[in-house]
Structure 1
Amino acid sequence: MKKYLQLIVMLILAIGLLPIQGEAAAKELRVHFIDVGQGDSILIQSTNGKNMLVDGGTKAQGEKVVSFLKSKGVKRLDYVVATHPDADHIGGLIAVLNAFPVSNFIDSGHVHTSQTYYELLTLIDKKNIKFTVPKELDKLALDPNMIIRVLHADENAKDSNDSSLVLKATYNKVSFLLMADASTAIEDKIRKKYNVEATVLKNGHHGSNTSSSAAFISNVKPKVAVLSYGKNNSYGHPHLAVESRLNKVDAKTYKTPLDCDITVTTNGVKHSVSTACKNGKKVTAPAAKPAAKPLPKPTPKPSAKPAPTQTNFKNCTELRKVYPKGVSKDHPAYQPKMDRDKDGWACER
C-alpha cells in the first residue's frame, strides 16, 4: 500500500512539471498598429492573453477597429486608453465600447467640449466602466510579465496634443514607446527625466515636424518606427525632416498608408514585423515560377552625364520652383539662412 501511494505522488509531481500548452503559446507579445487613416489606434495583446487598446481613430474608422479586434480573437478589453480627446484618436472608441466589454478606461483628463468626447464619456458612465485619469509614472497592470508606464500626463495642458498620455511598454529586452500627439516640448521633458530608448517607436503626431525632434530620435534609437497617418492628407504628414532623422539612426520605418496594419511580434528578446500590405496592396505569396535560363549579359552602354544641379537661389520661393519639398543639409543648394528652424532642412513646407 505504501509503495502504491509513493507511485501516485511521483506521478502527480511528474504531471505538474510538464509544460502547459496554453502557457507555452502565450509567451509572445503582439502589438498591432491598426491602419485607421489620419489617426491612431494600437492593440496590445499581452503574453497572458489580456488586451489593451490605445486610441481608436475617427468615428468613421470605428467599425474597422471593431472588425480588426474580432479578427485577432478579442472578446473583451482589459484596458482602453484615450491618449487625448482629439477626434482622430477617440472617435472610433464609441463603436469599440458598444461592441466589447471593457474593464478599465484610462483617460488624459483633458477637458474637451466636442460632441464626440461628450458622447464617449456618456457611454462610459452608462456602461459603468472604471474611469481613471493617471499620473506621471503610474503603471498599467495589464500583464505581470510586462511593465507599462505612463511617462507623461498633464490634464491641465493648454493644448490637447500636449495633454497626450505617453506610454512605454517593456517586455524583457524589447520595448515600445507610444507618443500619441506629444510635441517636441513634451519630448524634451521626458527624455531629460527618463530612459526613452525603445525598440519600437510610434512617432508623435502622425510624423509631423512638431514632434520627433532630432535630439529625441537620437535618444530613443528605435530599430522600428511606425508612422500612422492618412494617404494624401492635407497636413503634409509625414514631414521629410522626420523621415530623414529616422534614417540617420538606421530605423526601419513603416507607414500605415503603404503597409496597412502593422504587427510587431516579440518573445521579449527578438522581434519581427509583419504587414497586411506592401506599397498599399495586400500581401500575397507569389506563385512558384520555373527557373529561367540565364540571359546573355548586355553590352554596357556609356552612362549619360548627369544634368547640372542648380545650387544658387535668392530665396525659398525661387528654390521651391526647382525643389518643391525643400532641400536637406547634405544638398548643394542648402543655405543656412533658409533653414529657419535649424532642423537641417531648408525651405520645407
Structure 2
Amino acid sequence: MKKLLSIIAIVILIFGFLPITDANAATKNLKVHFINVGQGDSILVQAPAGKNMLIDGGPKTAGKDVVSFLKSKGVKTLDYVVATHPDADHIGGLIDVLKSFKVKHFIDSGRTHTTDTYYELLTLVDKKKINYIVPTPLKTYQLDPKMKTQVLYSNNKAEDSNNASIVLKLTYNKVSFLLTGDATKEIEEQLASKYKVNVNATVLKAGHHGSDTSSSPKFISKVKPKVAILSYGKDNMYGHPHASVVKSLKNVGAKIYKTPIHCNITVTTDGKTHKVTNACPKASTSKASTGKTTTNPSTTTKTSQTKFKNCTEMRKIYPYGVKKGHPAYEKNMTEMMMG
C-alpha cells in the first residue's frame, strides 16, 4: 500500500509540473474575421471563451464559401447570427449557413422586406426553431463574460433599408470593434447626437463598403480607428470604395485593409494589443471572389436615366449594377471614384 501511495504521489507531482492545456486553447484571444465575400459583408466573431457570432453572410453566391470558412475555423455551432439589414449582399449567404450549422439565436433588424431571399431566410429561421430577436438600441448581449457586445443602433421602421442597419460595438478590455453594416451618414450623426454613445474604436468596418453615403470625415475623426476594413468586390459597379472615404481614413492614421486585395482579414487581440493577419486562397473560381455583379438586361433597359447623386440612388434604378461602357457607368463612376 505504501508503495502504491508513493507511485500516486509521484504521478501527481509530475502532472503538477506539466503545462496546463485547455480545450479552448485560444480562450484569452478574441478573433474577428472579415470574410472575403465579394460585393457584400460577412464577419465571424470568435469570442475568448469559445462562442461564435456571425454578422451577415454576403450574397447568395458566397454562401458555400462562408460555410467553408466557418468550418476551417472549427465552428460547429453559431451562438448568434446577425442580419444587419435585409439587403441581398448581406443576407444571401446566410441561407447556406443556416442549413449547415446549428444556430441558437438569430438577430434581425426587423425591417419588412419583400424579396424571395429574405422570405427564404426567415422561413428557415422558423423551420429550425431558432430564437428570433429584433434588438433595441443600446441592448447588450452576453456573447462572452469578458466582452461587451452592444447594439448601438437599430431601427426596424427605417424607410431606407441601409438605415435599418444594426450597428454593433464589441469591446474586449482596451480593444474595440465598430461594425456599421450599411448605416449612412445620417445614422452616424444620430449615434453621437441622439444615442450619445462612444464610437471611438480600435477597428472600424467602414459603412456601406466604403461608399460616400457613409463614413463622413466628422464620424471617422470621432472613431479614430487604428485599423479600417473595407469589404467590397473587385471591379464592382458602384465605385466602392469612394476616394474621399479612403482619404478620411488615411487622415486619421488608420491602416486600411481591403477584402479584394487582402482577402480574408483577421484581427486577433488579447484585450491589450492587436494584430492583423490575412490569407488569400491560392486559386479561387468562386463567383463571390470576383465581386462582380451580374447585370440584368431587363432591368437596365427600362429607363434612360444615367445621372445619379451616388451609388445608392443608382441602385434604385440599376439594382444589379451596370457594365463598364454603359452611359450610367461613364457619367457616375468617374465622379464617384475621383470624389
Q: TM over 0.5, yes or no? A: yes
Aligned partner of 1:169 in structure 2 is 170
CA contact (8 A) 2:147 2:170 kept: yes
Following the alignment from structure 2 to structure 1, what is the Cα–Cα distance between the partners of residues 199 and 213?
18
The match for 1:208 among 184, 188, 211 is 211
Aligned partner of 1:136 in structure 2 is 137
Aligned partner of 1:339 in structure 2 is none
Aligned partner of 1:91 in structure 2 is 92
Following the alignment from structure 2 to structure 1, what is the Cα–Cα distance between the partners of residues 136 and 175?
24
TM-superposition CA deviations, 1:215-271 (whole Å, max 9, x none): 000000000000000000110000000000000001000000000000000111010
Runs of 4+ in 1 over 6 A off after TM superposition: none
Displacement of 1:22 in angstroms is 3.8
Following the alignment from structure 1 to structure 2, what is the Cα–Cα distance between the partners of residues 27 and 149?
20
Instruction: List runs of 5+ in structure 2 lacking aligned partners.
Output: 284-329
Following the alignment from structure 2 to structure 1, what is the Cα–Cα distance between the partners of residues 26 and 208?
35
Displacement of 1:191 in angstroms is 2.6
Instruction: List runs of 5+ in structure 1 lacking aligned partners.
Output: 283-320, 327-344
Identity among equivalent positions (%) equals 60
Larger radius of gyration between Structure 1 and Structure 2: 1
Aligned partner of 2:42 in structure 1 is 41
Aligned partner of 2:241 in structure 1 is 238
The alignment status of 1:264 with 2:267, answered yes or no, reads yes
Displacement of 1:26 in angstroms is 1.1
From the two aligned structures, give the one with the greater helix fraction.
2
CA contact (8 A) 1:191 1:219 kept: no
Structure 2 letter corresponding to 1:263? T
Secondary structure of 2:141's aligned partner: coil
Following the alignment from structure 1 to structure 2, what is the Cα–Cα distance between the partners of residues 108 and 186?
14
Secondary structure of 2:266's aligned partner: strand
Residue-pair matches, total: 281
TM-superposition CA deviations, 1:302-343 (whole Å, max 9, x none): xxxxxxxxxxxxxxxxxxx9xx956xxxxxxxxxxxxxxxxx
TM-superposition CA deviations, 1:272-331 (whole Å, max 9, x none): 001113xx978xxxxxxxxxxxxxxxxxxxxxxxxxxxxxxxxxxxxxx9xx956xxxxx
The alignment status of 1:217 with 2:215, answered yes or no, reads no
Following the alignment from structure 1 to structure 2, what is the Cα–Cα distance between the partners of residues 281 and 188?
41
- Output aligned runs, 1:151-190, within 5 Å: 151-190=152-191
The alignment status of 1:227 with 2:225, answered yes or no, reads no
Higher relative contact order (CA 8 A, sep 6+): 2
Aligned partner of 1:58 in structure 2 is 59
CA contact (8 A) 2:24 2:50 kept: no
Following the alignment from structure 1 to structure 2, what is the Cα–Cα distance between the partners of residues 233 and 24?
39
- Output aligned runs, 1:140-151, within 5 Å: 140-151=141-152
TM-score between both structures, scaled by the size of structure 2: 0.78
Secondary structure of 1:158's aligned partner: coil
The match for 2:197 among 179, 194, 198 is 194
Following the alignment from structure 2 to structure 1, what is the Cα–Cα distance between the partners of residues 92 and 140?
25
TM-superposition CA deviations, 1:132-190 (whole Å, max 9, x none): 00000111211111000000010000110000000000001000000000000000111
TM-score between both structures, scaled by the size of structure 1: 0.76
